[in-house]
Amino acid sequence: GQNIDQPTEMTATEGAIVQINCTYQTSGFNGLFWYQQHAGEAPTFLSYNVLDGLEEKGRFSSFLSRSKGYSYLLLKELQMKDSASYLCAGMDSNYQLIWGAGTKLIIKP
């Protein structure tokens, strides 16, 4: 079966760094997406990885290891506005997104 696993909730301190892990099992693989979703709003795209390695985009970076079925989202210099749910989604061979349940990130001052 297809499955995406990520922690339910994480807490971090403003200004710090946090890493949100995601493991995936999909039928075929066409990439791994990370989305940010604030409460009551629709998801917004953060990153896409299809090759192994680290993709850096400002304060956010995303890493992929296809052999391990593993990805992480790294958030640096955390700000209060980064408090949100972070959704990991794998794209299968049919180009359909398989969604994780999301990781609620709580930022404390």
Contacting positions for another protein (CB under 8 A): 30-31, 33, 35, 40-45, 48, 50, 87, 91, 95-97, 99-102
Mapping DSSP to helix (H, G, I), strand (E, B) and coil, where does residue 29 land?
A: coil
Q: Residue 68 in contact with residue 6, Cβ under 8 Å?
A: no
What residues contact residue 24 under an 8 Å CB cut-off, 6+ apart? 3, 4, 5, 32, 69, 70, 71, 88, 90, 98, 100
Between 27 and 44, name the residue whose CB sits nearer to another protein. 44
Least Å from the CB of residue 26 to another protein: 12
Q: Please tell me the total number of residues recorded for the chain in this structure.
A: 109
Shortest gap between Cβ of 35 and another protein (angstroms)?
A: 8
Q: Toward another protein, which CB reaches closer, 30 or 65?
A: 30
Residue (17 or 50) nearer to another protein, CB: 50
Smallest distance from another protein to CB 92, Å: 10
Smallest gap from Cβ 15 to another protein, in A, equals: 27
| Amino acid identity, position 89 | A
Q: Which residue's CB is nearer to another protein, number 10 or number 97?
A: 97
